[in-house]
Amino acid sequence: MRYDPSRPAGRLLLTPEDKEAPARTRRLGELGLGERPEPELDAYAGRLAELTGVPYAMVNFIDEHRQFFAGLHRSQGAPRVVRADGTTAVLGRELARDHGFCPHVVVRRKALVLEDVRDYPRFAGNPVVDEFGIHSYLGAPLIDSTGMTLGTLCVADTQPRPWGRSGLETIKSSAAELVTRLERRETDGLPLL
């Protein structure tokens, strides 16, 4: 099944309720995460983008009001979407909480694989599909040792992608590794990379 924008229900957004958002916001504050870009996290996202061969990779922290990409990789060849009004859409450091697929990963607390988001009515109407041309997504939660889901590690492409089991294992193991590094930075003051 493909997304059909001409159908009345085609634009229904079903962002899940996030009851942990206030506690997550406090935890992110304790860790000093989600308020500024971090070069080490940009580098981590860059390595993940190279490993998976995608134009976009993000380390995304989600608080009560927004999503913040403290780690962001946009390849120089990343497509730019021209909107109907002639302006160009470029993925920045922030997204609204109801944009993208990471809020679903955070609430579900497990990885999400969307080989072609247009195949899923729940996701096809998401603004990132039209705003940035995102057609494929792979993301895993960043769950720390307290059990708190801090955000996500994710990759996205403007083309459908068969992620397969290897893609799923890559994103899950990379997310687990990043959480370990974030916690070592907190406890031992060690650098992320």
Dist CA 9 CA 78 (whole Å): 30
Q: Is 70 domain-assigned?
A: yes
Q: Is 192 domain-assigned?
A: no
Task: Assess whether pLDDT exceeds 80 at residue 37.
Answer: yes
Q: Is 140 domain-assigned?
A: yes
Contact of 96 with 66, CB cutoff 8 Å: yes
Q: Is 106 domain-assigned?
A: yes
What local confidence, expressed as pLDDT, does residue 97 receive?
87
- H/E stretch holding 44 reads helix 39-52
Percent of the chain with pLDDT over 70: 85
Rg of the chain, C-alpha, whole Å: 16
Dist CA 87 CA 55 (whole Å): 20
Dist CA 86 CA 89 (whole Å): 10
C-alpha distance across the termini of the chain, in Å:
42
Q: Is 48 domain-assigned?
A: yes
Tokens of 190: 């060690």
Q: Is 63 domain-assigned?
A: yes
Instruction: Report which of residues 183 and 75 the model is more confident about.
Output: 183
In this predicted model, what pLDDT tens digit does every residue of 2-31 receive, in sequence order? 333 444 444 444 678 899 999 999 999 988
**Structural domain count, the chain:** 1
φ, ψ dihedrals at 99, nearest 5°: -100, 150
Write a three-state SS string for 74-142. Answer: ECCCCCCEECCCCCEECCCCEEECCCCCHHHHHHHCCCEEECCHHHCHHHHCCHHHHHHCCCEEEEEEE
Q: What would the mean pLDDT of 171-191 be, rounded to a whole number?
A: 90
Q: Domain range spanning residue 169?
A: 8-186
Q: Model-level pTM?
A: 0.85
What local confidence, expressed as pLDDT, does residue 88 receive?
63
Q: With cut-offs at 50, 70 and 90, classify the pLDDT of residue 1.
A: very low
Q: Is 17 domain-assigned?
A: yes
Tokens of 46: 């860059």
Percent of the chain with pLDDT over 90: 61
Task: Assess whether pLDDT exceeds 90 at residue 57.
Answer: yes
Q: What would the mean pLDDT of 59-85 be, rounded to a whole number?
A: 81
- The mean predicted confidence, pLDDT, of the chain is 86
Q: With cut-offs at 50, 70 and 90, classify the pLDDT of residue 110.
A: very high
Q: Is 191 domain-assigned?
A: no
Instruction: Report which of residues 63 and 9 the model is more confident about.
Output: 63
> Any idea which of 78-92, 105-119, 127-141 has the lowest mean pLDDT?
78-92
Task: Read off the CATH number of the domain in which 162 is found.
Answer: 3.30.450.40
Q: What would the mean pLDDT of 42-65 be, rounded to a whole number?
A: 95
Which letter, b or e, does each residue of 154-187 get, where b requires 16 or more Cβ atoms within 10 Å of its Cβ?
A: bbbbbeebebeeebeebbbebbeebbebbeebee
Task: Assess whether pLDDT exceeds 60 at residue 192.
Answer: yes
